[in-house]
């Protein structure tokens, strides 16, 4: 028979144990980070967007004095990297620097079955930057405007093709096709640089790509930008017409980048990550880097990121329906 004294002693012991656990968690958060952090990158090494991940990883490392190791997990439009993060240990030592608009807000509308839950398998830390995709053609092509390209694609029907490597580029291209009733065929690529080289070689008519990967060839004249995927011109790309100005009136897509961790990371650690990455996003050096790659700074916080994810999930659903994209 259990006495009242046994119950009270057990209760005191439980409180002591709980207090010890809380103290241990507090000490872990206070000491964080005390070993290298692994930043998962959804792009192959050397890709333009890989440069973005490595820049933010280095800035974070310089700020905290701790090593950040970038791990490339390319393929499946970011789903391989996202799943790796979702399955990682939630101790704050695996972070995801990624285009959240694509891998979280858009993904559920583009795939029949995801190996992760975009909302509930992650902690959504903060925003970093935003960047429109650009519609590109060969630099020596006869296409000087979107209207020029459209006229020729209508004649070619399904004999013409376009390239895609990311969800934003895919949807931007399909929205363009939907507006003008084009039958241009999609060709998927894992590596944006391979896709751009194929475009330069004349093996496709156009593509939508992030300017980070394309700026070098745009500046050299090998590629020509006809429009951006955003509704209006951006500060970082003042010479590139916005989609509406170029005649694509159903499009206003801007990719935004953000930081995420596996679900279950200590809130105190998440608060540290949010504060550090917001410092990085607001640095003058960051703004200079972003403008040079065609992007704009977009610092925020956890609450703003979650609101943006929710609103963009609704918007992406409308875009995918309008573009008549079949789920993979």
Cβ–Cβ contacts within 10 Å for residue 208, how many? 29
Question: Quick one: pLDDT at residue 302?
Answer: 96
Question: Quick one: pLDDT at residue 263?
Answer: 98
Question: Quick one: pLDDT at residue 27?
Answer: 54
| CA pair distance 326, 323, nearest whole angstrom | 9
Question: Quick one: pLDDT at residue 16?
Answer: 45
Terminal Cα distance for the chain, rounded:
62
Question: Quick one: pLDDT at residue 18?
Answer: 47
Residue 189 backbone zone (phi > 0: left; psi -120 to 50: alpha; other: beta): beta
Write down which residue in 188, 217, 246 finishes a domain. 246
Residue 69, domain CATH = 3.40.190.150
Residue 42 in any domain: the answer is yes
3-state class (DSSP) for residue 324: coil
Residue 220 in any domain: the answer is yes
Cβ–Cβ contacts within 10 Å for residue 263, how many? 16
Per-residue pLDDT of the chain (328 residues; tens, 9 = 90+): 444 344 334 444 444 444 544 454 455 678 899 999 999 999 989 877 899 999 999 999 999 999 999 999 998 889 999 999 999 999 999 999 999 998 999 888 989 899 999 999 999 999 999 999 999 999 999 999 999 999 999 999 999 999 998 888 999 999 999 999 999 999 999 888 999 999 999 999 999 998 988 999 999 999 999 999 998 888 888 999 999 999 999 988 888 999 999 999 999 999 999 999 999 999 999 999 999 988 999 999 999 999 999 999 998 898 888 888 888 7
Write down which residue in 216, 246, 276 finishes a domain. 246
Q: What are the respective helix, strand and coil percentages of the chain, to the nearest 5?
A: 50, 20, 35
Question: Do residues 44 and 68 both lie within one domain?
Answer: yes
Q: Give the list of residues 6+ apart from residue 90 with CB closer than 8 angstroms, or none.
A: 123, 261, 262, 263, 264, 265
Domain range enclosing 53: 32-132+254-323
Question: Quick one: pLDDT at residue 28?
Answer: 65
Residue 147, domain CATH = 3.40.190.10
DSSP string for 193-238: HHHHHHHHTTSSSEEEE-HHHHHHHHHHTSEEEEEESSSS--SS-T
Residue 118 in any domain: the answer is yes
Specify the number of domains making up the chain. 2
Question: Do residues 126 and 270 both lie within one domain?
Answer: yes
Question: Do residues 207 and 273 both lie within one domain?
Answer: no
Write down which residue in 212, 246, 280 finishes a domain. 246
Question: Quick one: pLDDT at residue 10?
Answer: 44
């Amino acid at each position: 028979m259990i006495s009242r004294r046994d119950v009270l002693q057990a209760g005191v012991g439980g409180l002591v144990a709980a207090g010890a656990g809380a103290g241990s968690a507090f000490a872990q958060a206070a000491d964080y980070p005390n070993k290298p952090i692994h930043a998962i990158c959804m792009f192959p090494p050397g890709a333009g967007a890989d440069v973005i991940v490595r820049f933010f990883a280095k800035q974070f490392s310089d700020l905290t004095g701790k090593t950040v190791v970038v791990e490339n997990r390319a393929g499946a439009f970011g789903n391989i990297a996202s799943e790796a993060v979702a399955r990682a240990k939630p101790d704050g030592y695996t972070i995801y620097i990624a285009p959240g608009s694509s891998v979280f807000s858009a993904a559920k509308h583009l795939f029949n079955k995801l190996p992760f839950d975009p909302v509930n398998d992650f902690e959504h830390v903060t925003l970093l930057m935003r960047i429109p995709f650009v519609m590109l053609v060969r630099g020596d092509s006869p296409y000087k405007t979107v209207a020029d390209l459209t006229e020729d694609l209508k004649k070619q029907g399904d004999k013409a093709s376009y390239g895609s490597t990311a969800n934003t580029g895919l949807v931007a291209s399909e929205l363009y096709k939907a507006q003008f009733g084009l039958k241009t065929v999609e060709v998927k690529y894992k590596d944006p640089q391979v896709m751009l080289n194929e475009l330069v070689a004349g093996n496709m008519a156009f593509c939508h790509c992030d300017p980070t990967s394309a700026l070098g060839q745009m500046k050299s004249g090998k590629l020509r930008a006809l429009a951006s995927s955003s509704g209006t011109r951006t500060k970082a790309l003042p010479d590139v017409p916005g989609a509406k100005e170029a005649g694509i009136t159903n499009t206003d897509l801007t990719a935004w980048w953000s930081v995420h961790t596996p679900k279950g990371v200590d809130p105190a650690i998440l608060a540290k990550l949010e504060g550090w990455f917001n410092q990085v996003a607001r640095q003058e050096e960051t703004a200079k880097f972003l403008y040079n790659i065609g992007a704009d700074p977009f610092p925020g916080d956890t609450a703003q990121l979650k609101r943006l994810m929710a609103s963009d999930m609704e918007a992406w659903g409308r875009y995918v329906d309008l573009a008549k994209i079949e789920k993979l």
